[in-house]
Amino acid sequence: MHKFFPFLKWFPMGRDAVKADVIAGITVALVLIPQSMAYANLAGLPAYYGLYAAFLPVAVASLFGSSKQLATGPVAVVSLLTGASLLPLAPPGSDEYVALAILLSFVIGIVQLAIGLLRLGVVVNFLSHPVILGFTNAAALIIGLSQLSKIFGVKMGRSDHFLQDIWGVLQQLHTTHLPSLIFGVVAFATMWTLKKHKPQLPNVLIAVAVTTFASWLLGYQAMGGKVVGEIPQGLPALAIPHFDLHLVGSLFSSAVIISLVGFMEAISIAKAMAVRTKDSIDPNQELIGQGLGNLAGCLTQAYPTSGSFSRSAVNLGSGAKSGFSSVVTSLMVLATLLFLTPLLYHLPEAVLAAVIMMAVVGLLNVRGIQHAWHANRHDGIAAIATFIASMAFAPHLDKGIFFGAGLAIVLFLYRTMSPRVALLGLYPDGTLRDVAIHPELPTDPQIIVLRFDGQLYFANVSYFEEMILNAVAAKPSARFLLLVGDGINQMDASGEEVVRHLVERIQKNDMVIVFSGLKRQILLVMQATGLLDFVGRDNIFATVQAALNNIYDRLGRGENRPLFVQ
């Protein structure tokens, strides 16, 4: 039962646990309600659709996910991707646009549910961490820049060239609507100050409440300022999204990208919290939870949702013990939809823009890209290239992340095409070391000892063959070639074929090839293809020393002969 209904693991719940979950749920709701409206605007939707997305998906994802503290709902990156996906298909905010957003939620839910049920959560590994770093930094910058028009109270065009649209905004700065700028700056400063000096307070809610009251009191709308306006009171109508096969095909690639990016964000947050709470996380179950959340959301006019880093941190920090806290959050949003929407009429759009800009500050992670560069130059290149591509392709961000993922795979293949092949010599302590690092080490004129560090597969077999033949050609007096295979973890059909040809060529040159340290999976391939008998089972040894002792015997030196001679 727990497999199909993960929420049963919450029970039985003690009084203290229920109290902690209720407090955490209310605390998260205080952050979620204003954030969700801001993110809906970011997605190109009327603000109240954010409240719809903050209602049912939050509870359903929690009920069927594996994390006890993951807070689901509208998030910045998914909202940006949603807007970028729908922009070429319909005017933002139009009825057609809203219908497409709801349909996108349905397609994403199906994709996530299918990946989770088929236990294919590992596909997310094709989006490497450096690629996600580059993408999220670009997304944060794009999100922040996209809000400038609302902060300054000017118009922003919507075209296929985001940077051109931003340039258009900058050219209008001389027509800045001063009240909008003041409200936006005051809201941002309020949130920033409270977060820094009073982190226990709901800074977003306080900023929204104060500025909304000031907007009503000062007549901000009469000054020409844009406000949220009337929000339909009551629950969203239950409806099946309009299904059109052509539209589903148009949205599918975007749905896959949003599914993977959203899931990566959600699962990374869930894993980080699980380390602290010592809980176990099932990525596939989390996909099922997120998928069901989006499917439930599309029935209540919600646009795509995912796990939120900031709200999950608030949830954990507020003492949440189980997913029941998210159910409480959902109930708080329900109460807002039923009774509190009139209070949000005078909320300035400039304040919502400030809320978004405040949220995306946490997405900027330049140090992460620097760290990737220092860890591995190729990872740094992938991160930087993804950032540049995402900025260049904006608002079509799916192209940027596809480019980054493809480049990361190409760089990985390039890196593994030339693995290390080390010629080994005798170190003073009796161990074998790489002659390239220690050129003073002695080697035996009759024995070549090589170590191959990497999997032996189609992309590097030519390099492997070339390095072996070069080593043989460089020492014509050698009678034995010892290949140390401790570092070979995999061998495909191409690798097996090349080894067979090498053995044949080396034997024709009156040399013997000997292997040591081959792992079980390599030996199984060699046995299945007959390569083991072709090489000769008496030429396969478990350790380097056993192989060398056998070679010494064949050379007539005896076991106590020094390993190498000058």
Give the pLDDT confidence score for residue 167 in this predicted structure.
92
Q: Which two tokens stand for residue 77?
A: 């990156």
**Domains in the chain and their CATH numbers?**
6-344+351-410 (no CATH), 419-555 (3.30.750.24)
Q: How far, in Å, are 41, 97, 214, 219 from residue 83 at the CA level?
A: 9, 9, 30, 31
Rg of the chain's alpha carbons, rounded to an integer? Answer: 31
Gap between the Cα atoms of 35 and 204, Å rounded: 8
Give the pLDDT confidence score for residue 379 in this predicted structure.
92
**Biggest alpha carbon–alpha carbon distance for the chain:** 102
The size of the chain, in residues, is: 566
Gap between the Cα atoms of 290 and 64, Å rounded: 8
3-state helix, strand, coil in the chain (%, to 5): 65, 5, 30
pLDDT in tens, 364-385: 888 999 999 999 999 999 999 9
Q: Which two tokens stand for residue 96?
A: 């057609």
Peptide bond just before 88 cis, omega within 30 deg:
no
In 3D, which of 142, 47, 198, 130 has the Cα closest to residue 357?
142
Average pLDDT of 437-453? 87
pLDDT for 518 beyond 60: yes
Give the pLDDT confidence score for residue 160 in this predicted structure.
75
Q: How far, in Å, are 67, 142, 165, 387, 540 from residue 308 at the CA level?
A: 13, 19, 28, 22, 54
Which range has the worst mean pLDDT, 9-23, 93-107, 288-302, 427-441? Answer: 427-441
pLDDT in tens, 312-331: 988 888 888 899 999 999 99
pLDDT for 502 beyond 80: yes
Peptide bond just before 476 cis, omega within 30 deg:
no
Compute how many other C-beta atoms are within 10 angstroms of the C-beta atom of residue 543. Answer: 12
In the block, tokens 């080593």 appear at: 471
Amino acid identity of 229? G
Which range has the worst mean pLDDT, 421-435, 442-456, 518-532? Answer: 421-435
In the block, tokens 């030339």 appear at: 418
Give the pLDDT confidence score for residue 201 in this predicted structure.
85
DSSP characters over 536-561: -GGGEESSHHHHHHHHHHHHT--TTS
Give the pLDDT confidence score for residue 430 in this predicted structure.
65
What is the percent of the chain with per-residue pLDDT over 90, rounded to a whole number? 55
What is the percent of the chain with per-residue pLDDT over 70, rounded to a whole number? 97
For residue 80, with 0-12 CB atoms within 10 Å meaning exposed, 13-18 middle and 19 or more buried, which class applies? Answer: buried
Mean pLDDT computed over every residue of the chain = 89
Give the pLDDT confidence score for residue 561 in this predicted structure.
53
The alpha carbon of residue 552 and the mean position of all alpha carbons in its chain are separated, in whole angstroms, by: 53
In the block, tokens 């199909």 appear at: 4
pLDDT in tens, 87-132: 888 999 899 999 999 999 999 999 999 999 998 877 777 778 888 8
pLDDT for 353 beyond 50: yes
pLDDT for 565 beyond 50: no
Task: Between 61 and 129, name the one with better pLDDT.
Answer: 61
Q: What is the pTM of this model?
A: 0.79
Give the pLDDT confidence score for residue 511 in this predicted structure.
92
Gap between the Cα atoms of 73 and 30, Å rounded: 13
Gap between the Cα atoms of 151 and 539, Å rounded: 75
Gap between the Cα atoms of 265 and 258, Å rounded: 10
In 3D, which of 146, 180, 150 has the Cα closest to residue 166?
146
Coil vs helix vs strand at 343 = helix
Which range has the worst mean pLDDT, 58-67, 196-205, 465-474? Answer: 196-205
Gap between the Cα atoms of 174 and 552, Å rounded: 87
8-state DSSP, 491: B
Coil vs helix vs strand at 307 = strand
Peptide bond just before 199 cis, omega within 30 deg:
no
Indicate the helix (H) or strand (E) that contains 484. strand 480-484
Gap between the Cα atoms of 475 and 470, Å rounded: 9
Indicate the helix (H) or strand (E) that contains 388. helix 377-393
pLDDT for 247 beyond 90: no
